[in-house]
A and B are shown apart, each in its own frame.
Chain A
Amino acid sequence: QVKLQQSGAELVKPGASVKLSCKTSGYTFSTSYMSWFKQIPGQSIEWIGMIYAGDGGTGYNQKFKGKATLTVDTSSSTAYMDLSSLTTEDSAVYFCALGYFDYWGQGVMVTVSS
């Protein structure tokens, strides 16, 4: 059974950074793609970018370049997303999704507030 377990909710101050994790099981992580998405509650979904676990190659939505950095640790089958220089506009739920978007994490709420 494929599972994606995301890290817990975050409350961070403006200007800070946060690192989100997405741990997978039941899937061949080392040859898979992982995508990340942002959703402000009540709004549609935005694609942030994707990473290929095989070689760490990445592709980003231009809107999130400089904001998000995607990495993987194949030894623990975990994908990470660093979000930097956080502002209130980064407050949202962030999802990871594996492969051709057939498996999703439960989402993690990031709240940026002083």
Chain B
Amino acid sequence: DVVLTQTPSILSATIGQSVSISCRSSQSLLDSDGNTYLYWFLQRPGQSPQRLIYLVSNLGSGVPNRFSGSGSGTDFTLKISGVEAEDLGVYYCMQATHAPLTFGSGTKLEIK
């Protein structure tokens, strides 16, 4: 199975600060169809995951543009440009290039 390693595991930020989360894959996530099936989700406390980013860098519907995704191959990054209070929760990367789909271990964002 593909292993996704997220760092850091905990992130503490002030309102307005910009932060980044790294997701590294044990295998390339570039599919034979030319797509890279790397997603980012936010799970707020007590809620279902919410898709933020799909196919590495595409913003999900209704997702604020302070969120952005980048990367290729095995290295990916989620950036939040100006953290807001509603951004607290656990962020997960997920790959859907290789079966089974797998998730990173999560990054907990705390607001100082």
Contacts and interface: CB of A to CB of B under 8 A. Distances in A.
Nearest to B62: A102
B100 A104 contact: no
A47 B41 CA distance: 14
A44 B48 contact: no
A60 to B, nearest CB: 8
Contacts, number: 43
A interface SS class: mixed
Contacts of A104: 48-50
Nearest to A50: B101
B47 to A, nearest CB: 8
Contacts of A44: 92, 103-106
A45 B49 contact: yes
A97 B39 CA distance: 14
Contacts of B94: 45, 101
Interface string B78-112: 00000000000000101010011111111000000
Interface residues of B, number: 20
Interface string A66-95: 000000000000000000000000000001
A47 B97 CA distance: 13
Interface string B43-60: 000001111001000001
Interface residues of A, number: 18
B100 A47 contact: yes
Interface of B: 39, 41, 48-51, 54, 60-61, 92, 94, 96, 99-106
Interface of A: 35, 44-47, 59, 61-63, 95, 97, 100-102, 104-107
